[in-house]
Amino acid sequence: MAEKTKKKIKIPIAELKQIKLCPFCKGTDFKKFGFREKKHEKVQVFYCNHCEKKFTPLVTSGKTYPVYIILQSLIWSNRFLKSQEITEKIKRDYGLSVTANTIDNWVKEYRRFTPFARMKDFLVGKVEKGEIDLREMIAENKLFHQQIYNFGYHRWKTDAILNEQFKNFKLKAIKEFLELIIAECPHKIFVESKLRASDGKGKFNLDEVRITRKENLACEMAKFVMQAVANNKRRHEELQNFMLSCDSTTLAVEVPVLLGKEDVDHYREMLNFDVPLELKGEEDAITGHIDIIQLRNGMIHIMDFKPSAKKYKPIEQLTVYALALARLTGLRLYNFKCAWFDEDDYYEFYPLHVVYKKRKKKK
């Protein structure tokens, strides 16, 4: 066990492609310059040719423990594990000795990344009295839909947000839909369907769509998580897990949705929407999985994490998600916003503007 404790966890937490500027002179002329050996890990060092300074571009620069350990500790804390329980879990899973006081300090220091902590403080009394069952807090399920999707749904958070304001309560159908996924998701359709939401590119008329770049905490969360996870394939999942556990507005992740011929016909014939999707058979369906669903400011936000977000415009894909989710919940498309983001940029638009075109009045 002593040997395991001394072994360093090699988690390369900063890749060159993630670094935009030198933190000292804001220059872009820098290069990799070896590694720095810390007590429990090895981290990449960079050298700026302009100001001739070395740096490690980390939010957690100067920390003794790997960023991934801090990340996991914040997740466990927001899942109501006590600090002592977290230290025991870190020792068991990673062979590292971390004090409960260190855990408490991390929770305080990185509170800006964990807005759910405020809601957690309100609920902790009920947990201690046994009025709330921790096992029911987050519903998680692996969906085998041609590939594995880790669906997650935060029940407590959803209830708290819906009951917080009347403008949110009118969207309670989203909770009913998320509960149904666990028991009644039509897995066969997702396994057999060849039609994907991402296939809609180039079909919609985007002339009247206004894309707005905004400041959003999701970017800061992504930046924090990305530096902690070296494996590109795992970054998506780790970000979703972090936001589901620590964000105050994220209700669910990897949410399966489908849009059938009847749905498309409804939009076209009943609402006169411009939905240029061709479904030939009654059993045909376009399927997809929404990265992140948030509920804030009286609207449901459908979000997609896209590395290099500035280069991509997944408007059609997100619009199909919104059309599908609106039908599955019975809510109006007016109640939805769509967004995509990475560590630096966050863009959003109204899916209604994609399919609803104002008719010019005849003179």
Among 22-31, 191-200, 307-316, 336-345, which is the least confidently predicted range?
22-31
Residue pair 243/235 in contact (Cβ under 8 Å)? The answer is no
Taking CA atoms, 29 is separated from 45, 47, 53, 162, in Å, by 14, 9, 11, 49
Residue 18 has pLDDT above 60, yes or no: no
Residue pair 100/87 in contact (Cβ under 8 Å)? The answer is yes
Q: Which residues of 315-337 are buried (b: 16+ CB within 10 A; e: fewer)?
A: bbbbbbbbbbbbbbbebebebbb
pLDDT digit string, tens, across residues 116-135: 999 888 888 878 888 778 88
Residue 154 has pLDDT above 80, yes or no: yes
The predicted structure's pLDDT at residue 127? 81
Nearest by Cα to 36 from 3, 66, 70:
66
At 11, the pLDDT band (50, 70, 90 cuts) reads very low
Residue 308 has pLDDT above 60, yes or no: yes
At 37, the pLDDT band (50, 70, 90 cuts) reads low
Residue 346 has pLDDT above 90, yes or no: yes
Nearest by Cα to 47 from 64, 65, 67, 23:
23
Count other Cβ atoms within 10 Å, centred on residue 149. Answer: 18
- Mean pLDDT, rounded, for 27-41: 68
- Mean pLDDT, rounded, for 335-352: 97
The predicted structure's pLDDT at residue 335? 97
Nearest by Cα to 154 from 164, 139, 168, 142:
139
Q: In sequence order, what are the residues at sequence separation of 6 or more whose Cβ sits closer than 8 angstroms to the Cβ of residue 265?
A: none
Give the highest mean pLDDT range of 25-34, 46-55, 96-105.
96-105
- Mean pLDDT, rounded, for 166-174: 87
Residue pair 28/19 in contact (Cβ under 8 Å)? The answer is no
pLDDT digit string, tens, across residues 230-242: 777 888 999 999 9
Residue pair 351/210 in contact (Cβ under 8 Å)? The answer is no
Largest CA distance in the chain: 85
The predicted structure's pLDDT at residue 8? 43
Nearest by Cα to 299 from 328, 321, 331, 324:
331
The C-alpha atoms of residue 51 and residue 57 are separated, in whole angstroms, by 15
- Mean pLDDT, rounded, for 161-186: 90
- Mean pLDDT, rounded, for 150-166: 91
Residue 274 has pLDDT above 60, yes or no: yes
The predicted structure's pLDDT at residue 26? 63
The predicted structure's pLDDT at residue 39? 54
pLDDT digit string, tens, across residues 183-219: 899 999 999 998 989 877 778 989 889 999 999 999 9
Decide: helix, strand or coil at residue 300.
strand
**pTM, 2 dp:** 0.84
